[in-house]
């Protein structure tokens, strides 16, 4: 837990629990400069987030919307049985159906992908998945409740669609870096700070668009992409083993890929915090 700065007054209730955090180190003028007057809720101004803004400013960070525009996010729906639509295995339609269930930390579990019916595809075809799309769950406690995301590293079939997922499709930003950022403390703290309402660590389309992305040099981004390519090779080996029913090699290779990804996230965070010059 981060220590409470000296210029923050913590008021406790009769039970000794923290009830109110009062900022005595920030003026109303400064608050107006940082954010429009629509955000007067206490969590937004909690001192635990004070280190975010200087870091993002240092890297000339821009929001996802500023860089890519609102069109970079594609909001989906899901198969609706009430309309006679179907999803599952063995439908023999050849139409891949992407959903949170197959999200893995290092990529999508493409060893066995569900299919959907043709009538569902006709309604959802605008959510067709491309290689290097970032999928984010938008429904369910196990999905949005954990802010689950997935970078599509394999090449999907010509026909596909999604269920209860929104897509971040990037044309200017490096998708490997943005995915690393989504899984970093820097991004998660932005989500926690910008969220509204009460709940767990979630992300919706507006929050995704408001995420500020550090503008990093091309050589750092190239090193991140090269590192991700290396770990993806282990993800692919894991998928091949799972397809063959080789559970031992599946677990071995997916564990290696996950370990490499967590290390890459840590190294990237160190660069953003100015503790290192590069991830290598």
Q: Are 243 and 171 in contact (CB under 8 A)?
A: no
Position 182 pLDDT exceeds 70: yes
Residue 204 is given by DSSP the state -
**CA-based nearest residue to 39, from 187, 189, 194:** 194
Q: Which of 29-43, 131-145, 229-243 is predicted with the least confidence, judged by mean pLDDT? A: 29-43
Outline where the chain has alpha helix (H): 28-34, 52-58, 64-68, 118-124, 175-182, 185-194, 205-210, 218-243, 247-272
Q: Dig out the tokens for 158 from the structure.
A: 């010509």
Confidence (pLDDT) at 62: 95
Confidence (pLDDT) at 190: 76
Confidence (pLDDT) at 8: 54
Convert the pLDDT of each residue in 79-116 to its tens digit: 999 999 999 999 999 999 999 999 999 999 999 999 99
Q: Are 97 and 163 in contact (CB under 8 A)?
A: yes
The span from the CA of 216 to the CA of 271, in Å, is 10
Highest mean pLDDT: which of 2-6, 48-52, 122-126, 180-184? Answer: 122-126
CA terminus-to-terminus distance, the chain: 29
* 42 or 247, greater pLDDT: 247
């Amino acid at each position: 837990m981060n220590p409470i700065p000296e210029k923050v007054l913590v008021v406790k209730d009769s039970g000794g629990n923290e009830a109110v955090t009062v900022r005595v180190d920030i003026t109303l003028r400064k608050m107006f400069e940082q954010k429009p007057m629509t955000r007067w809720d206490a969590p937004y101004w909690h001192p635990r987030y004070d280190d975010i803004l200087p870091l993002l400013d240092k890297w000339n960070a821009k929001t996802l919307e500023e860089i890519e525009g609102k069109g970079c996010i594609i909001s989906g729906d899901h198969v609706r049985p009430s309309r006679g639509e179907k999803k599952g295995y063995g439908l023999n339609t050849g139409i891949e159906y992407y959903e949170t269930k197959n999200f893995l930390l290092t990529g999508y579990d493409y060893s066995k992908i569900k299919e959907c019916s043709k009538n569902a595809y006709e309604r959802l075809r605008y959510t067709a998945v491309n290689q290097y799309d970032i999928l984010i769950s938008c429904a369910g406690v196990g999905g949005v409740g954990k802010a689950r995301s997935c970078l599509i590293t394999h090449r999907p079939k010509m026909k596909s669609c999604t269920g209860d997922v929104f897509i971040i499709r990037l044309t200017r930003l490096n998708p490997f870096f943005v995915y690393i950022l989504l899984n970093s403390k820097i991004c998660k703290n932005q989500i926690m700070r910008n969220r509204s309402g009460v709940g767990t660590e979630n992300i919706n389309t507006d929050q995704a668009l408001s995420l500020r992305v550090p503008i990093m040099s091309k050589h750092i981004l190239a090193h991140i992409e090269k590192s991700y390519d290396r770990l993806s090779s282990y993800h692919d080996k894991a998928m091949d083993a799972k397809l063959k029913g080789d559970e031992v090699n599946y677990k071995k290779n997916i564990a290696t890929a996950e370990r490499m990804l967590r290390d890459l996230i840590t190294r990237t965070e160190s660069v953003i915090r100015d503790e290192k010059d590069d991830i290598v």
